[in-house]
Chains A and B, each alone.
Chain A
């Protein structure tokens, strides 16, 4: 039996712990919230151990079942994977703390309580399973296993989207499901062509394009299109805003901050293997540029805060693809810029969606015009929302600033100055729509009557913690960048 001593057990725990949590939350209906918090904290701990071990010992591998690839499946924790797992852990913990307060705050002893309790019971196992699937996606080294993880992510996201039970969210969930299935089936066909061309399912082998024969090109195109559909890259973005905006508050944050990053990360994995000429990367970069401009315009013209934040996600996904031509030069900083965008967007967007959800719960609506004065009631959430917006705009010293700085310097050093131009233009456009939302939230307008505060304190503070993290990411940049060096 090909037992390898190279299997490090710390690689698998961030997948196993939330899987265990799923089953426990599904079985233990009395206090699923308590169990979920426990498992979220443990998952966060194991993810931190993973990040620390990768920094300390370098790339970690885990040969599942003791079989080495191509026969078996391996998990591989390198710098980028560890960074994504860490990102999911930190954002996920914040969202978990928020959700605890959120579901508690909605119980008012009214006739809806039974429905809300049922929603909470379904939420926790779905969320933990989604978390496990995302970690599995980031760590997996096998493309068929990635397909299964993608389906787990998609189905649990759809379940979470539909949880609110209102017709718009049901319709959005249905469309999300159909697009998602189309994406994963396209991906699966690509997997088939890869297997036909290479005779293996190992990601490390498959993503290294040595000879661009027609089957390999077709496989790469199918896989990329499938993943871009799932990431909602322009022009495949049509399903995202209604799905993200109509979901429950914590679900919106989960979808925007974490789920889109899963398929984007895989796209990066398939393109970063090397062998592709830089010209090919121009296609995602052009689509990304279009997304930045289109998303910003749409965000600006929205009447509802959550729709604005959702369209902002469409625009920010554009940034995640703009640096793709820079990946052709392995010595360049292209991938650093991409990952910095990913992690700072994750914290900032989670904070903004959580804050917007708090406004909604308190005010009963999220019309931007009528939110004026909410600052008095919810100072902490308003501050969190504004800080998140600052990071999206890329003002120093936020994480978004570092990301844009890395992108522009990498673009100039590789003579792709137009990418830098797009990034700067995007910052300006972001500033316009963020200002529109923030000026309403922070306006000095006084509320006529002071309604009682219904939201829990943890809802406000968890959003603020994530927003502060999005800012602090700019100051502690050396740490994530050191992690990214490990490949």
Chain B
């Protein structure tokens, strides 16, 4: 394994002073953690007081998609950003084709699991409005389904038209922005929903978020722009004017 920073970044040869320092740091952290203070309690009461107006019954979902919806919007952008950066590293490709590991077993596993995973994702999405579950859990399961497909070297990301893939990835960020800007044009603060429409908007946002998150996760696992071929010129040093 290549290691460019061994000399400077890692004093691996003499770690003891460092470890003692870290131990002291840990003791300080624990001490501070255990100091009995006037615990003000978190925001549980405020959340409960406003839950009725949020449009959902699950408190975590209410926080994620209503009270702190802006955080979730930025989070969708973080996933989009991850995809953008990974794609910008164009030749970050395992050039040798993926080994289809134990084809028969994987194939039957796929047949068995894929429908179940999609079903579970749908259930989690639906359950999210009233209990544990929601867009992220559903998105993670969908992403897992995508990874399973990729493991079988099924090129589903390549078969998908590039346009569809790109639009799918940007679906959640775009939809979030649209909801936010719509509120602004109606003279309300960004990402505000009125009570009557809140449930509907939140469910729609959750579906979009789950879909995009799943697609983003699978894309990140694939780790490259689908359909991009590594040219023979990749190994060459860049020309002088390349800066």
A197, B37: Cβ atoms closer than 8 Å: yes
B80, A148: Cβ atoms closer than 8 Å: no
Complexed CA–CA distance, A119 and B66 (Å):
37
Q: Does A279 contact B (CB under 8 A)?
A: no
* Contact residue among A3, A195, A357 (Cβ-Cβ distance under 8 Å from B243): A357
Which residues from A are CB-within-8-Å of B33? Answer: 196, 215
B67, A67: Cβ atoms closer than 8 Å: yes
Chain A residues at the B interface, C-beta cutoff of 8 Å: 1-4, 7, 9, 12, 16, 19-20, 22-23, 26-27, 62-67, 70-73, 106, 108, 110-112, 114-116, 118-119, 122, 125-126, 129, 132-133, 136, 144-145, 148-149, 151-152, 155-156, 158-159, 162-166, 171, 174-175, 178, 193, 195-200, 213-215, 217-218, 238, 248-249, 357, 360-361, 364-366, 454
Q: Give 20 pairs: A residue, B residue, CB < 8 Å, sorted on A.
A: A4-B189, A12-B189, A12-B190, A16-B190, A19-B173, A27-B167, A27-B170, A64-B189, A70-B46, A72-B67, A106-B242, A115-B90, A116-B242, A148-B78, A155-B78, A156-B81, A197-B40, A214-B31, A215-B35, A217-B32
Q: How far is the CB of A438 from chain B (nearest CB, A)?
A: 21
* Contact residue among A3, A26, A152, A171 (Cβ-Cβ distance under 8 Å from B5): A171
Residue of chain B at shortest CB distance from A15: B190
Residue of chain A at shortest CB distance from B167: A27
A64, B241: Cβ atoms closer than 8 Å: no
Complexed CA–CA distance, A70 and B29 (Å):
26
Q: How far is the CB of B157 from chain A (nearest CB, A)?
A: 17
Complexed CA–CA distance, A312 and B47 (Å):
49
Residue of chain B at shortest CB distance from A168: B4
Q: How far is the CB of A224 from chain B (nearest CB, A)?
A: 15
Complexed CA–CA distance, A336 and B169 (Å):
44
Which residues from A are CB-within-8-Å of B190? Answer: 9, 12, 16, 62, 64-65
Name the residue among B9, B46, B170, B242 with the largest chain A CB count within 10 angstroms. Answer: B242
Given A7-B189, A199-B41, A218-B32, also A73-B70 (CB < 8 A): yes
Which residues from B are CB-within-8-Å of A114? Answer: 231
* Contact residue among B5, B42, B166 (Cβ-Cβ distance under 8 Å from A195): B42
Complexed CA–CA distance, A19 and B193 (Å):
20
Residue of chain A at shortest CB distance from B50: A71
B40, A218: Cβ atoms closer than 8 Å: no
10 nearest CB pairs, A to B? A199-B40, A122-B88, A159-B85, A66-B192, A7-B189, A218-B32, A64-B70, A364-B240, A171-B4, A71-B46
A361, B243: Cβ atoms closer than 8 Å: yes
Complexed CA–CA distance, A134 and B223 (Å):
27
Residue of chain A at shortest CB distance from B31: A214
Q: How far is the CB of B90 from chain A (nearest CB, A)?
A: 6
Q: Does B53 contact A (CB under 8 A)?
A: yes
Q: Does B74 contact A (CB under 8 A)?
A: yes
Complexed CA–CA distance, A2 and B53 (Å):
9
* Contact residue among A20, A197, A218, A249 (Cβ-Cβ distance under 8 Å from B28): A218
Name the residue among B53, B68, B87 with the largest chain A CB count within 10 angstroms. Answer: B68
Which residues from B are CB-within-8-Å of A119? Answer: 88
A144, B189: Cβ atoms closer than 8 Å: no
Q: Does B89 contact A (CB under 8 A)?
A: yes
Which residues from A are CB-within-8-Å of B68? Answer: 65, 72-73, 144-145
B188, A66: Cβ atoms closer than 8 Å: yes
Which residues from A are CB-within-8-Å of B4? Answer: 171, 174
Residue of chain A at shortest CB distance from B238: A166
Which residues from B are CB-within-8-Å of A70? Answer: 43, 46
A112, B238: Cβ atoms closer than 8 Å: yes
Complexed CA–CA distance, A133 and B80 (Å):
13
Given A3-B188, A159-B88, also A112-B32 (CB < 8 A): no
B191, A360: Cβ atoms closer than 8 Å: no
Given A64-B191, A66-B189, also A155-B74 (CB < 8 A): no
A sample of 17 more A-B contacts (CB under 8 A), given A70-B43, A106-B242, A152-B77, is A3-B189, A19-B77, A26-B80, A65-B190, A122-B87, A133-B74, A148-B78, A155-B82, A159-B85, A197-B40, A200-B43, A215-B32, A215-B33, A249-B243, A357-B243, A361-B241, A365-B240
Which residues from B are CB-within-8-Å of A7? Answer: 188-189
Interface segment out of the listed B112-120, B174-182, B214-222: B174-182
Residue of chain B at shortest CB distance from A192: B33
Using an 8 Å CB-CB cutoff, how does the interface string of B142-159 with A read, 1 for contact, 0 for none?
000000000000000000
B69, A64: Cβ atoms closer than 8 Å: yes
Q: How far is the CB of A149 from chain B (nearest CB, A)?
A: 7
Q: Does B132 contact A (CB under 8 A)?
A: no
Complexed CA–CA distance, A186 and B61 (Å):
27
A16, B180: Cβ atoms closer than 8 Å: yes
Complexed CA–CA distance, A401 and B181 (Å):
42
Using an 8 Å CB-CB cutoff, how does the interface string of B180-206 with A read, 1 for contact, 0 for none?
110010001111111100000000000
Complexed CA–CA distance, A133 and B173 (Å):
14
Which residues from A are CB-within-8-Å of B89? Answer: 162, 165
* Contact residue among B5, B71, B167 (Cβ-Cβ distance under 8 Å from A148): B71
A65, B67: Cβ atoms closer than 8 Å: yes
Which residues from B are CB-within-8-Å of A145? Answer: 68, 70-71, 74
Q: Does B13 contact A (CB under 8 A)?
A: no
Residue of chain A at shortest CB distance from B231: A114
Q: How far is the CB of B209 from chain A (nearest CB, A)?
A: 15
